[in-house]
Amino acid sequence: ECLKLLFEHHGSTSLADGGAKKATLIFTGTLGALRTNAQFAAYGAGRSSVRMLAQSLAKEFSEKGVHVVHAIANGGIGDEEGEQQKKGARMSAEAVGRTYLWLSGQGVELWTHELDLRPALEKF
């Protein structure tokens, strides 16, 4: 329904036919979308389904001007700009927001479809 409303307001002309980029849809996921630990199978199944949804929507709606992104937020995100953020142990909400704004500003000549976000000290 949301995409239907989007196309009603912004038109449904495809990029190939001269249509413009209409929106950026960002799904925030976790590392569980890629791999999980023992006893976390249900969690991994749920997280990977969000990733598959993002990929499917990207394949369906990219040509219609909708940029779809799956962002993997691997680590804690805090509202404050505290010591944890300053030393790279935790992501700040401000930094995540700046990244999402950057994603939404991408032109049709290059779209990021998957992005791994993590603080500098997060273990791989």
Query: Which helix (H) or strand (E) covers residue 29, if one does?
Result: strand 23-29
Q: What is the pLDDT of residue 123?
A: 82
Listing DSSP states for 48-70 in one string gives HHHHHHHHHHHHHHGGGTEEEEE
Please give the structure tokens belonging to residue 10. 């912004």
3-class SS at 45? helix
Q: What is the pLDDT of residue 81?
A: 84
Q: How many CA atoms lie within 13 A of 115 on its CB side?
A: 17
Q: What is the pLDDT of residue 24?
A: 97
Q: Point out the residues of the chain with pLDDT beneath 70.
A: none
Q: What is the pLDDT of residue 41?
A: 94
> Going by DSSP bridges, is the β-strand pair 66-73/77-78 parallel, antiparallel, or unpaired?
unpaired
Rounded CA-CA distance 30/71 in Å is 8
3-class SS at 31? helix
Q: What is the pLDDT of residue 80?
A: 83
End-to-end distance of the chain based on CA atoms, in angstroms?
38
> Going by DSSP bridges, is the β-strand pair 91-92/77-78 parallel, antiparallel, or unpaired?
parallel
